[in-house]
Chains A and B, each alone.
Chain A
Amino acid sequence: MWQFFHKLGSPKWFFGIANRLMPWLMWGGVVLLFAGLIWGLAFAPKDYLQGNSYRIIFIHVPSAFLAQSVYIMMAVAAVVTLVWRMKLADVFVKAAAPVGAVLTFLALFTGAVWGKPTWGTWWIWDARLTSMLILLFLYFGVIALGAAISDEKSSARAVAVLVLVGVVNIPIIKYSVEWWNTLHQPATFKLTEKPAMPMEMWVPLLLSVLGLYLIFGWFACLRMQTEILVRERRTRWVKALVQAEES
């Protein structure tokens, strides 16, 4: 176990593992995502309340789900950065943050477009949309702070502190936004709370969530590899790797 943990900290070892994993992640993700989306778009039954516009759920929910869990993953990596000073953990945070921001934006965008036929307006200060917006701000903060500090080590640890402060705040933000929402506009019906979703909607949704998860894994591997190549450019193995790819 500890040896594995130790190995995990080695960029070189990770690079090789990522190389082997990436095709599986990519193709598995694409297959699952497309299976879920095609099923959801063409074969799942129409929702009796919202009609066909509900089919946005098959990309809205995966995006929102991933957006939140990427932040949680970043928080775990931040703890690892601060406690064990593991380089790879910080590489993950730096690599995942832009992907998380894009997914958060997608969740917001699809939520807004879904809102038009459902609520009759593009934007509504709904508790879920608002807290997603704040999550997007948190992502931007993480990216901006990481870019502002040039020293690699300080940047890693400063970003880790910020991510952790953010993760402590997320439940508070979520709770307060929900409270604020009920205070200001009671009884709007919720976007994703529907009485017992039928099986034919559940399975494709699950498939697309899993698919997007795998695709995120692919993104993480690729972007981490890039980051490692930059950071370890003076090491012998990276030089050998670059030369090998040249020939």
Chain B
Amino acid sequence: MAFDARAGLRPEADAVSVFTAMRVVFVRDLRAAFRQRQDLLNPLLFFVMVVTLFPLGVSPEVSFLQLAGSGILWVAALLSVLLSLDHLFRHDFDDGTLEQLVLQPQPLFLLVLAKTAAHWVLTGLPLILLAPLLGVMVHLEGNSIAVLCLTLLIGTPVLSLIGAIGAALTLGLKSAGVLLSLLIIPLYIPVLIFGTGTVAAAAEGAPVGGYIALMGAFLVLAITLAPFAAAAALRISLSNS
């Protein structure tokens, strides 16, 4: 038959370009998130509280905090990204939007990339804006704080992208939260190592250009590969339910 079922059902669908579709998904996610502001705030509060625990739990000494500060901030950022990942697909999964997304004529991995970008703008970016304040509280020097923010700027998108794979894989499972952390934390280790390593190198006065470039390579690699894996995982999870 020469009749194209898809075109017949949604005559305008093929007219929407990939970039328009990505933009629509991106803007929609931002809008939906701003309707539930508390969900946006929670990971940030978590970030601040985890950082607070370290001076209280280990030592408030300036020497310790200066040494461990960048690590503490990075670990806290990593954990709060991890905490927020559950929301990445959950709402859309519950109300069926995700199935519509999968059925779109545009390639799914690009739509997933758009969703992940929205997730980063909602969680990663606020963390970076908050980091200087917490950096001052753990007695980091000005230069270190700047480098820390730079590493977070490059590193948190990688966290969101890798996390999207885990979120897609655990979608619709009962104990998704803990399982998600179990799957994703090992994959986060390189980002953490290079993130804190760069700040440590900066604190010693070493040039950090090479480290930043390496983290950039991580980011490029994650942008090119992670959406594919996340899209495949999404399809699997949706066929399951």
**Cross-chain contact A157 with B179 (CB below 8 angstroms):** no
Note all chain B residues with C-beta closer than 8 A to A162.
169, 183
Q: Which residues of A in the span 139-184 have a Cβ within 8 Å of any Cβ on B?
A: 140-141, 144-145, 148-149, 151, 153-154, 157-158, 161-162, 164-166, 168-169, 172-173, 175-177, 179-180, 183
Once A162-B169, A180-B193, A183-B197 are accepted as A-B contacts, the answer to whether A141 and B182 lie under 8 Å apart by CB is yes
For the complex, is B175 an interface residue (Cβ under 8 Å from A)?
yes
By the criterion of a CB under 8 Å from any partner CB, how many residues of chain A are at the interface?
A: 30
A202 to chain B, nearest CB (A): 33
Question: Chain A residue with minimal CB distance to B162?
Answer: A165
| Partner among A144, A158, A169 whose Cβ is within 8 Å of the Cβ of B237 | A158
Q: Which residues of B in the span 185-239 have a Cβ within 8 Å of any Cβ on A?
A: 185-187, 189-190, 193-194, 197, 200-201, 218, 225, 229, 232-233, 236-237, 239
For the complex, is B165 an interface residue (Cβ under 8 Å from A)?
yes
| Partner among A154, A168, A173, A179 whose Cβ is within 8 Å of the Cβ of B186 | A173
Which of A134, A151, A172, A179 is most buried by chain B, counting CB atoms within 10 A of its CB? A172
B: contact size bracket:
20 to 34
Which of A153, A158, A164, A183 is most buried by chain B, counting CB atoms within 10 A of its CB? A158
**Cross-chain contact A158 with B236 (CB below 8 angstroms):** yes
Note all chain A residues with C-beta closer than 8 A to B183.
141, 144-145, 162
Note all chain B residues with C-beta closer than 8 A to A154.
236-237, 239-240
B98 to chain A, nearest CB (A): 15
Per-residue interface assignment for chain B, residues 155 to 183, with 1 indicating a CB less than 8 Å from any chain A CB and 0 otherwise: 00000001001000110011100010011
A132 to chain B, nearest CB (A): 12
A47 to chain B, nearest CB (A): 32
Once A145-B179, A154-B240, A168-B225 are accepted as A-B contacts, the answer to whether A177 and B189 lie under 8 Å apart by CB is yes
For the complex, is A122 an interface residue (Cβ under 8 Å from B)?
no
Note all chain B residues with C-beta closer than 8 A to A161.
165, 169, 229, 232-233, 236
**Cross-chain contact B194 with A149 (CB below 8 angstroms):** no
For the complex, is A137 an interface residue (Cβ under 8 Å from B)?
yes
B212 to chain A, nearest CB (A): 14
**Cross-chain contact A165 with B197 (CB below 8 angstroms):** no
A158 to B189 CA separation, bound complex (whole angstroms): 22
A141 to B165 CA separation, bound complex (whole angstroms): 13
For the complex, is A138 an interface residue (Cβ under 8 Å from B)?
yes
Note all chain B residues with C-beta closer than 8 A to A173.
186, 189-190
A246 to B13 CA separation, bound complex (whole angstroms): 61
A71 to B154 CA separation, bound complex (whole angstroms): 30
Question: Chain B residue with minimal CB distance to A180?
Answer: B193
**Cross-chain contact B229 with A164 (CB below 8 angstroms):** yes
Question: Chain B residue with minimal CB distance to A150?
Answer: B240
Note all chain A residues with C-beta closer than 8 A to B193.
176-177, 179-180
**Cross-chain contact B194 with A176 (CB below 8 angstroms):** yes
A116 to chain B, nearest CB (A): 26
Note all chain A residues with C-beta closer than 8 A to B239.
153-154
**Cross-chain contact A148 with B186 (CB below 8 angstroms):** no
Which of B170, B185, B218 is most buried by chain A, counting CB atoms within 10 A of its CB? B170
**Cross-chain contact A144 with B190 (CB below 8 angstroms):** no
**Cross-chain contact A144 with B179 (CB below 8 angstroms):** yes
Question: Chain A residue with minimal CB distance to B225?
Answer: A168
Question: Chain B residue with minimal CB distance to A171?
Answer: B190
A204 to B233 CA separation, bound complex (whole angstroms): 44
A168 to B170 CA separation, bound complex (whole angstroms): 20
**Cross-chain contact B229 with A165 (CB below 8 angstroms):** yes
**Cross-chain contact B189 with A176 (CB below 8 angstroms):** yes
Note all chain A residues with C-beta closer than 8 A to B194.
176, 179
**Cross-chain contact A137 with B173 (CB below 8 angstroms):** no
| Partner among B179, B185, B229, B236 whose Cβ is within 8 Å of the Cβ of A148 | B179
**Cross-chain contact A158 with B197 (CB below 8 angstroms):** no
**Cross-chain contact B185 with A137 (CB below 8 angstroms):** yes
A207 to chain B, nearest CB (A): 33
Question: Chain B residue with minimal CB distance to A139?
Answer: B186
Note all chain B residues with C-beta closer than 8 A to A168.
225
| Partner among A145, A153, A169 whose Cβ is within 8 Å of the Cβ of B170 | A145
Question: Chain B residue with minimal CB distance to A147?
Answer: B179
A140 to B186 CA separation, bound complex (whole angstroms): 10
Give 18 CB contacts A-B under 8 Å: A134-B186, A137-B185, A137-B186, A141-B182, A144-B182, A148-B170, A157-B232, A158-B169, A161-B165, A161-B233, A161-B236, A165-B165, A169-B190, A172-B190, A173-B190, A175-B190, A176-B194, A177-B193
Q: Which 3 pairs between the two chains have the least Cβ-Cβ distance?
A: A154-B240, A176-B190, A137-B186
